[in-house]
Amino acid sequence: MTTARDEVTDSYYEFGTAADRWSRALMFFEAKEYVTAAAILTGLVAEVPEQVAPRLLLARAYYHSAQLGKAEAELRAVLVRDPVEQYATLMLGRTLERQGRPAEAAPHLRLAAAMAGDLPVSGPAPLRAGA
């Protein structure tokens, strides 16, 4: 059963242009109101599914509000659209870890580290000047 309050809340999430809703979602995210940010971003992502930024922020809002299954789904969707999105790769690994799936997380975390240049150097030591 839908209440009048639900209808007002829904219309608030949908009110304005896409840019207005993006700004509103950012405001709620920065205020750590992750559930509200996710509610706004859900409609925005449905409206512009090809854009990575709203979907990535939606995944972050889900992650911070402990909606880990939804976060994982959005992160995988981001990586389908942008396979070299380093932060999404890292977040997917962290999300899988947080779900108690370390074996699944490990390859994503290694790939994110490689993308960021954070892998340990292996092999011969680098040459030093004057040596």
The tens digit of pLDDT for each residue in 3-42 reads 544 454 556 678 889 999 999 999 999 999 999 999 999 9
Length of the chain: 131
pLDDT value for 16: 87
What pLDDT, in 10s, does the model give residues 67-122? 999 999 999 999 999 999 999 999 999 999 999 999 999 999 999 999 998 866 56
Stretch 46-56: mean pLDDT, rounded? 95
pLDDT of the residue at 15: 80
Are 58 and 77 spatial neighbours (Cβ–Cβ below 8 Å)? no
Reported as a pLDDT band with limits 50, 70 and 90, residue 129 is: low
- Write down the pLDDT at residue 52: 96
Whose structure tokens read 């706004």? 40
According to the model, what pLDDT value does residue 128 have? 64
Cβ(52)–Cβ(85) below 8 Å? yes
The sign of the torsion formed by the CA atoms of 13, 18, 24, 25 equals: positive
